[in-house]
Amino acid sequence: MAFTIVNEESDHTVHLTNLLDSAFGTGRKGRTVYRFRDGVAPVDTLRYVALGQDGSVWGSIRFWPVAMPDGGVEVLLGPLAVFPKLRGQGIGKALVAHGLAGARAAGYRAVLIVGEPDYYRPFGFRPEHVSGLTLPGSVAPLTFMGLEFEEGRLTHAAGPVLPALRRERSA
């Protein structure tokens, strides 16, 4: 089934709670990645949705800003979600590819993820890129990984990755 990827607009946003509940469950806000999202807005220019031909939201990807040990800001990919009935058609991978292109074009030098290695490895995410970095909490059974747009941005970094400055409530 055909889909298109566009910037998330306010009339899409109302569908995202259902999408994220169906993908991650209502207990999702206890996950470590939500420590980065609590009170912090997603990167406004990196919010994308996949739409069906009738304009309905089929999937979504967002990125959150995170503070690197040197005080610079990079982005954490997620949440990425596709409605269960629409999975397996390439929507998730297309959203990741679109989002990564957007992050690179926006000037970010690296992207972090807590996810499944098998899914994200083809995009270049590697656990060894973040071996010097720590997150504030457990990520098991998922894996902390990173993708460098600028060589050394992650592999030469050491210390904690922290939530970016609080600005407004997360969705």
Ligand X SMILES: CC(C)(COP(=O)(O)OP(=O)(O)OC[C@H]1O[C@@H](n2cnc3c(N)ncnc32)[C@H](O)[C@@H]1OP(=O)(O)O)[C@@H](O)C(=O)NCCC(=O)NCCS
Residues in contact with ligand X by CB under 6 A are: 23-24, 78, 80-82, 87-93, 115-116, 118-119
User: CA dihedral in degrees (59, 68, 36, 91; nearest 10)?
Assistant: 10
Output the smallest distance, CB 58 to ligand X, in A: 8
Of 67 and 142, nearer to ligand X (C-beta) is 142
Q: Which helix (H) or strand (E) covers residue 78, if one does?
A: strand 73-82
Of 92 and 163, nearer to ligand X (C-beta) is 92
Q: Coil, strand, or helix at residue 44?
A: helix
Output the smallest distance, CB 168 to ligand X, in A: 24
Of 69 and 89, nearer to ligand X (C-beta) is 89
Output the smallest distance, CB 89 to ligand X, in A: 5
State the distance between the two ends of the chain, measured CA to CA, in whole angstroms.
28
Output the smallest distance, CB 128 to ligand X, in A: 18
Kindly report the number of other CB atoms within 10 A of residue 132's CB atom.
Answer: 13
Distant-in-sequence, close-in-space partners of 20: CB < 8 Å, separation ≥ 6 = 28, 60, 79, 81
CB-nearest residue to ligand X: 92
10 Å CB burial of residue 67 (0-12, 13-18, 19+) is middle
Of 114 and 157, nearer to ligand X (C-beta) is 114
Output the smallest distance, CB 85 to ligand X, in A: 10
